[in-house]
Amino acid sequence: MEVPAVVLRTELRVHPMNHEHPLGERFPNGDGFIDAVPSLIAELPARLGLRASALDGSVDGLTRFDRAARRIGGQACLDDSNILGGLVAYVGEVIRNVAGGDWVIDNNPGEPWQAVIAGAGRRYPIFLIFGEILEGGSMAAFVAVHTGCDQPGFVRRRSGVFAAREQAVAAARGALATVPDDSYRVTQRYGDGAPYAVQFDRDIEIDGYPFAAHAAAYFTRNGDIIGGILSRPTTFQDLTFPAGSSVGFFSNHRDGRLGDCIVLGADQELFGVPCKAGTLTQFRLHKGRPYLTAGTLSRDHRFAGTLYRAGSWFSVDRQGHLMDFRPPGWDTGEV
């Protein structure tokens, strides 16, 4: 899948009095930064209170650095040029590990220098993570979105510090460890090697979740169930979903709360609204309980006396009042 081009520029925050670069004076005009990348990365775990093993070069592994940055505080990270320089170096090498490319220093007159990963016709300006750090966002999501590595058909183009590292392989944990490891194959792993996505060779039930054979099933690093395809009708939080439905949890199966996106295996009425099979049906939680927020009509349906055709997309509030809709074909240009 082709990933849209990203905005390549960002404003840098500089000190209002002395106009210092966010990474201080250690790398004037960016000189020496690229050569310092390995040492900046090596020093980063100790500065963030993480183990050296956290440096696995994976996108999902960046969530550990997200948590560490939030623990220290976004502004505190931005104010410490050693932490900030390490994060820039590491995020850049993670991008190189999934998308390829080389370090480039953009040093335009009158503008603060920037570190960029360039290659395969794309440019990834790493300083855009400053906003994620300051606002408590996710550097992992930033990399996933900007590189497109979470999109179907993504092809890895590895280069850089972590390119030669083999994929780690770790044994299953938690709920997944309760079934024989020869009953499934791992299709995706976390950066530490723990199974993320698997496919079972037969219908199998784990902790009350009936997984369908030959379909993707997802687990946390600790082996807790994230979601999958149901092999039979199953009830979660008083809602029964048909076989073939893709159902996930807000955090994991031990939490028990439904996730925000379900794909129904058959047409189904939910909270009085007929929802269409094979389309995204969305929920939110109120006091831990799910309520319908959006979906696609499986048949003609009235909201507040007005008839809407089958195939219309709708969104509703917690009371079931229509907030927005799109006519059939709105997403294919066939309106």
Quick one: pLDDT at residue 153?
76
Model pLDDT for residues 42-97, shown as the tens digit of each residue: 999 999 999 999 999 999 999 999 999 999 999 999 999 999 999 999 999 999 99
- d(CA 67, CA 133) in angstroms, rounded, equals 10
pLDDT value of residue 5:
33
The pair of structure tokens assigned to 323 is 């907030």
Residue 153, token pair as written in the block = 């058909």
Flag the least confident range among 6-10, 174-178, 255-259, 267-271. Answer: 6-10
Query: How large a percentage of the chain has pLDDT more than 90?
Result: 80
Is 3's pLDDT higher than 50?
no
DSSP classification of residue 212 = P
Residues 6+ apart with CB under 8 A from 57: 93, 94, 97, 161, 162, 165, 191
* Separation of alpha carbons 297 and 279, rounded Å: 9
pLDDT at 6 > cutoff 50: no
Query: What is d(CA 173, CA 252) in angstroms, rounded to the nearest whole number?
Result: 14
Hey, how many other C-beta atoms are within 10 angstroms of the C-beta on 227?
A: 21
pTM: 0.71
Q: Which domains does the chain have, with CATH numbers?
A: 28-147 (1.20.120), 191-326 (no CATH)
Report how far residue 315's alpha carbon sits from residue 295's, in angstroms, rounded to the nearest whole number. Answer: 7
Residue % of the chain over a pLDDT of 70:
93
Rounded CA separation 118/99 (Å)? 10
